[in-house]
Amino acid sequence: MPLIDLYDPSKGYIVNDQCIIEAEVAVRKIVDYWNYDSKKETGYVGLKNQGATCYMNSLLQTLYHIPYFRKAVYHMPTVDTPSGSIPLALQSLFYRLQHGDNSISTKELTKSFGWDSYESFMQHDVQELNRVLCEKLEDKMKGTIVEGTIQKLFEGHHMNYIECIGVDYKSTRKESFYDLALDVKGCSDVYASFDKYVAVEMLDGDNKYQSEKYGLQDAKKGMLFIDFPPVLQLQLKRFEYDHARDIMVR
């Protein structure tokens, strides 16, 4: 706006010999990161990165914020458990996350995994770590009051099927899952990823289905979900293996 417009009586800016201006002012809060108190600001504390353990920290924070899972970990018997056990280390970590005032070290937990400092500087697959950790906990929970917790929380079921087109034959197999790995490439949202996950594959041409009773047949192959668990774990496949370059690419 030209400055001269402010002094033009017809513009309405001059009222009783005073210049009236309305303006929107954006105020940016300056955060002192050196003295930032996470517990005070959010009620939570973070986990320290040992070098390349950010993937593990994300997983641990996710599991910690599942109340039923956290309660089950607390109820795992550890009275006669060696000091380097996974249940005891995880209990200690969750307790400090819940009641501590500062960021928490994960060294006690990774030591219970059998990791040395070299392992802490290596990137691991978070899906694989989650599966191994849950398998270890599931095994340690057997015979205790929290037996079956992992299964109750994370286990879902789907059915794989092959259905012949020209003859009356269908083969089905029910399977369980604890997590789902969804494609991201070419998918606009998670619903598109699920559509791709259950997409029907046609078995025809040189890829006909060999049925026991009718021989080679055109068929369709697919998967249907039977039920989902209370906590559905989704692993987004942000990277895929490029066979030509022998590397992982986005």
Lowest mean pLDDT among 2-11, 45-54, 64-73, 200-209: 2-11
Is it the case that residue 241 has pLDDT exceeding 70?
A: no
When pLDDT is averaged across residues 196-204 and rounded to a whole number, the result is 94
Q: Is the dihedral of CA 79, 85, 90, 92 positive or negative?
A: positive
- Residue-range domain boundaries for the chain: 43-152, 156-249
Residue-level pLDDT at 238: 74
**Closest residue by Cα to residue 192 from 202, 201, 182:** 182
Please state which CATH number belongs to domain 156-249. 2.20.210.10
7-24: average pLDDT: 74
Q: Which two tokens stand for residue 90?
A: 């995880």
Q: What is the pLDDT of residue 94?
A: 97
Tens-digit pLDDT profile for residues 165-178: 999 999 999 999 99
Among the residue ranges 19-33, 72-86, 161-175, 215-229, the one predicted with the least confidence is 19-33
Using pLDDT thresholds of 50, 70 and 90, give the confidence band for residue 239: low
The string of pLDDT tens digits covering residues 100-152 is 999 999 999 999 988 887 777 777 788 899 999 999 999 999 999 999 999 99
To the nearest whole percent, how much of the chain has pLDDT over 90? 62
**Per-residue confidence band for 83, with pLDDT thresholds at 50, 70 and 90:** confident
Between 232 and 248, the higher pLDDT residue: 232
Higher pLDDT, 247 or 139: 139
Could you give the CA distance from residue 191 to residue 59 in angstroms, rounded to a whole number? Answer: 23
**Mean predicted confidence (pLDDT) in 183-191:** 91
